[in-house]
Structure 1
Amino acid sequence: MQATGERLPALYLSHGAPPLADDELWTAELAAWSAGLPRPTAILMVSAHWEEAPLALGATTRVPLVYDFRGFPERYYAVRYDAPGAPELADRVRGTLRGAGTPVQDIPDRGLDHGAYVPLVEMYPEADIPVLQISLPTLDPERLLEIGRKLAPLRDEGVLIVGSGFFTHNLAALRHAGSGPPAWSVEFDAWGREALAAGDVDALLDFERKSPAGRLAHPRTEHFAPLFVTLGAAGGDLDRQRTAIDGFWMGLAKRSVQFG
């Protein structure tokens, strides 16, 4: 892979669930977002739905998707996303991380999970851009930030680095009986918006203590964790950010942010 002369942004997106495909507003927002980006040479996805240590590289050839959900109508299990594999990118990631002292393993039969393919179906529906998914090897924000920093130079090679999670993720929101989203989701979303706008990475790293309702918004860290990979990959572009998508879906904040 070679420098392209155009640095790609780093993204954090709220990926939704399989029924996202039925949400006309959200799908339109994702499509408009990708239409405004330079065309990537490849996409590097880190999804909340793959925790594996040491850090793992997924398939570099076309293999079946991972339908990592239950109880949905059959049509959601018929979705295909036959993007090319990205063996060249896998070599770059493997070499970059191992050279920096980060262990890496290969799991060549591991396909894209819904945290990766659900948004990509809407953003790049032709499935003609090579995609590589890597695992979350830890939920420690500091370590994920460092991994993102190591991956940041790939942006200069045309790679779109995407952290895929959900800005608030507590499925108790699905049982919320009041009007509008739950207060904890609204409060955390507002706090996160302000912390991001201020470039306050320290506050975001310590979100469990410094945010309102941090543990309600994220009973586990896995859906917030990809943000730290994105923040590390963003590097000096923290002040060149924009919110691409906001609002709520079934009580959960779908805030999605672009850096660079």
Structure 2
Amino acid sequence: MDATPERMPALYLSHGAPPLADDPVWPGELAAWSAGLPRPKAILMVSAHWEEAPLALGATETIPLVHDFWGFPEHYYQVRYAAPGAPELAASVRAMLRGPGTPVQDIPDRGLDHGAYVPLVEMFPDADVPVLQISLPTLDPRKLMDIGRRLAPLRDEGVLLVGSGFFTHNLAALRHVGAGVPGWSAEFDDWGRHALEAQDIDALLDFEHTSPAGRLAHPRTEHFAPLFVTLGAADAAGDLGGGRSVIDGFWMGLAKRSIQFG
């Protein structure tokens, strides 16, 4: 891939759910964020909603989306996002990640899931930037940081790296509280903000034990896991100190904190 003079940022974003599109605030926040970014040559997306080992590359041509949710009104299933595929980016990712003991597989009929397309619809609504989604092959934070480090050179080739999750995510616990923000969600969000500002990577890596209410905020860790791919890409580029929260606050009790490095 041809180099570009401007290094692209690395992002971690909270992707919400399909009803994000109807929120009075959040779509505008995402649109304003993307408007302030350099235009990417392509987007490499790691979503909490695709766990597959060994690491898998999704479709490299435009195919239907994966509407991987249930019980929503019909219009959410009618959403389309026909972004171009990114076969050149896929080739670069294969070359960077494939090696002895680290196979990479292709799943060409796997379209973008809602963790990928829900935020992209708001950030790049023209669907004119090529997108490649790769799977989470593990939930081990250290291994995910290593993947991010190995992918970091793509940022100098015009690729926007995006880890897509949710800064707190416990839907079951939300059913047992009333309106407002649950204490565990607010406490974890505040802890995470301070850990990121302090660049306390060790605390973040061991968040299940070092954070308040970590196991309540993330009873299963797949929605926090994409952050570590982003952190690895930032660490390799030396811009961990330049991280900033672009979006914060809460949505239906969950922290929507989203972070940019670079």
Provide the TM-score with structure 1 as the length reference: 0.98
* Pair 1:168-2:172 in alignment: no
Are the counterparts in 2 of residues 173 and 250 from structure 1 also a CA contact under 8 Å? no
Code of the aligned partner of 1:239: G
Partner Cα separation in structure 2 for residue 195 and residue 70 of structure 1: 35
Please, which moves more after superposition, 232-241 or 115-124? 232-241
Residue 238 (structure 1) aligned to one of 237, 240, 244: 240
Q: State how far apart, in whole Å, the 1-side matches of 2:96 and 2:33 are.
A: 29
Which segment is superposed worse, 129-138 or 90-99? 90-99
Deviations 1:164-217 (A, max 9, x none): 000000003532434420000000000000000011111000000000000000
What is the deviation of 1:242?
Answer: 1.3
Gaps of 5+ in 1: none
Which residue number in structure 2 is paired with residue 29 of structure 1? 29
Whole-Å Cα distance in 2 between the matches of residues 215 and 18 of structure 1?
A: 25
C-alpha RMSD of matched pairs (Å): 1.0
Q: Structure 1: how far apart are the matches of 2:220 and 2:160?
A: 26
Residue 157 of structure 2: aligned partner:
157
Q: How far 1:100 sits from its partner (Å)?
A: 7.6
- Equivalent in the alignment of 2:15: 15
Counterpart residue number, 1:257: 259
Identify the residue that residue 180 of structure 2 maps to in structure 1: 180
1:193 equivalenced with 2:193 (yes/no)? yes
| Aligned position for 2:122 | 122
Q: Which consecutive unaligned segments of at least 5 residues does structure 2 have?
A: none
Percentage of matched positions with identical amino acids:
81
CA–CA separation in structure 2 for the residues paired with 1:77 and 1:246 = 27
User: Which shows bigger deviation, 236-245 or 189-198?
Assistant: 236-245
Q: Which moved more, 1:92-101 or 1:239-248?
A: 92-101
> Which residue of 2 is the match for residue 111 of structure 1?
111
Count of residues paired in the alignment: 260
Which of structure 1's runs of 4+ aligned residues deviate more than 4 A?
Answer: none
Deviation at 1:101, TM superposition (A): 5.4
Q: Distance in 2 between matches of 1:66 and 1:189?
A: 29
